[in-house]
A and B are shown apart, each in its own frame.
Chain A
Amino acid sequence: MKTKFLVSVFTVLVFISCKVSFVPDYDASVEQQIIDGAKANDKIYLELLADSVDRSYAKYSPEYTDVQAEINSIDLKIQASKHPKDMHMLDSMLLVHFIKYRDEHKQAKTPLNNAMIIDYQADIKAFWLALLKAEQGLPHSTSN
């Protein structure tokens, strides 16, 4: 009886250790931050479109800083997770393009026109969406 019990415990331990893991676990807090970050980023472009008087970078600088802080925070959580490589790659692509669009706004010699704003808005949304889809596709702990 005692031997059977020990064998059972051993078997369970062996199989628990056999669980494979290729990707990080889903994190609801990261998903919420992605949604919040995308919303704040979209708001910058919506406000720019609505503002025909002052589209200067200086006016929107604080909002850009808030969004970058959100992306950095998401990246910190991703890097602290197991198997972060691909999620980190996605987050880095988002950050690179966010900075690129921000800097183009900052360095623009003339105010951004509607077409440019619409392009920035559409493209950055695509990077946020890829990150969100990936996060939502990660294994949820309840289904493991």
Chain B
Amino acid sequence: MSLNINTTIQQMLNAMKTEAAGGWDKIKDASNSFLQAHKQRLQQLADQRLNNEIDDDFLKARLADEEDILKAELIAEKIITESAAQQAINAAFSVLETAILNAL
């Protein structure tokens, strides 16, 4: 038996799209980029199970970990976005501050 990882990833994206419904647009890019970036890793897990190098329980535990990795990556993205927003807002206020002081 073999597994076509590209077909499987497309099926995973379809399942996410169905489940996320109205919120799909918000997570579409992050989900797609996560699955593409982890394609090799997911293929590796599948191959290991198909070759009997790992058992069902171990595979299930690692797949659950992949979900947690996605969560961790989304949290990291949130932190980076908030950091960029903070710096942009403070830079804008700094310009305003300078403009007011120069006008005094």
Contact = CB atoms under 8 A, between A and B. Distances in A.
Nearest to B74: A130
B79 A86 contact: yes
A97 B82 CA distance: 26
B2 interface: no
A93 B72 contact: yes
Interface in A97-123: 97, 104, 113-116, 118-119, 122-123
A86 B48 CA distance: 34
Interface residues of B, number: 37
Chain A at the B interface: SS class: helix
Q: Is the interface of B mostly helix, strand, loop or mixed?
A: helix
A interface, size bucket:
35 or more
Given A115-B48, A127-B69, A139 B86 contact: yes
B83 A15 contact: no
A104 B55 CA distance: 14
B39 to A, nearest CB: 13
Nearest to B68: A93
Given A90-B76, A116-B58, A23 B104 contact: no
Given A90-B76, A97-B65, A119 B54 contact: yes
